[in-house]
Structure 1
């Protein structure tokens, strides 16, 4: 980056193009289809989690361990190593579906049998064991940058809802389920130590 004379504000002519605006949308199993879209230009495809309220939150944390050396009384370059990395997406789901409730408790859905419960209902219950199939392949938040029509996308791999089910009902209001999804590494990438999270940032002219 070319150096410029110092200013008293960080605002430049390109600043208005770099705002991350609005809440965005949450998708399950978000993938890029290079042959889809208009004129085969490609497009992102996924399954909407549902309508949200109150915004969404992305958190990426990198934890460092300091290698202690006798006589080194101040932090030094090269003396920190990455100990762990985590990523999570927090969302407030207002569109209640049987699947969203199931996701929140990592449970299972069965159709009512007409004997113990009336037909036309789904019965959602918890499970005694967490299985690999309970992890969502990936979960992504699709947002909007002010300077482009292309989305900014954050994807976490092997997402699992770890927040449980907690909601309130009130008059003149709608229930919202707060859901926290955490990223997990694939079994064959444990030794890699890389973060199971990616950020796709569009080029802004």
Structure 2
């Protein structure tokens, strides 16, 4: 932001362009398609009451004899964590399988009718249960392009808790965590990115 003479409010003519508004939409395996110049992914489903992104950076202080206050360069990054919390209202068999770290399969003729899926938990987590990524696509008021937040190698770590009530629809809160791949571990890189458009 340009240097200005001080005033008693943070509001400027540019302020209204930088509001992040509405809940956005959540996509699995989101990527930018250069040919069409569009973002593409698999929609997770309808949500209720918004979505929440949390990026944590934990630091530690390096102690040195003779220093009596905090000093520049003292803090080192100890760990990072990125999470996306989604309140899913569209409860499909694939969303339920994501929540319980399980798998869905077609029911066998001896256990249920033909048009049923069976969703079962597993005793061992495998790499194919991680999503390539999960992304939140949101709106910023000063651009026709979306804000896109991507968590790499996402895994649902919340389990499944659903209330069934009369005159209401069930909503499941799913929490996804980002996980670093081999290159990101080597580079000590946060497995999360925010793509923020230029504001007009």
* Matching residue of 2:39: 44
**Alignment partners' CA distance in 1, 2:162 and 2:46:** 16
TM-score (norm 2): 0.97
* Matching residue of 2:108: 113
Deviation at 1:78, TM superposition (A): 0.8
Residue 148 (structure 1) aligned to one of 113, 133, 143: 143
Give CA-to-partner distance per residue, 1:151-173, whole Å, 9 cap, x none: 00100100000000001011111
Match status 1:60 vs 2:55: yes
Deviation at 1:87, TM superposition (A): 0.3
**Alignment partners' CA distance in 2, 1:166 and 1:68:** 44
* Matching residue of 1:196: 191
Secondary structure of the residue aligned to 1:190 is helix
* Matching residue of 1:6: 6
Residue 167 (structure 1) aligned to one of 156, 162, 181: 162
Residue 85 (structure 2) aligned to one of 83, 86, 90: 90
Contact 2:184/2:190, CA 8 A, preserved across alignment: no
Give CA-to-partner distance per residue, 1:62-102, whole Å, 9 cap, x none: 01111111222211111111111110100000001000000
Deviation at 1:187, TM superposition (A): 2.4
Contact 2:184/2:191, CA 8 A, preserved across alignment: no
Number of matched pairs: 200
Match status 1:129 vs 2:97: no
Aligned residues: CA RMSD? 1.0
Match status 1:32 vs 2:32: yes
**Alignment partners' CA distance in 1, 2:113 and 2:4:** 72
More moved, 55-64 vs 188-197: 188-197
**Alignment partners' CA distance in 2, 1:148 and 1:192:** 32
Structure 1: 4+ residue segments shifted above 6 A: none
* Matching residue of 2:174: 179
* Matching residue of 1:39: none
Gaps of 5+ in 1: 37-41
TM-score (norm 1): 0.95
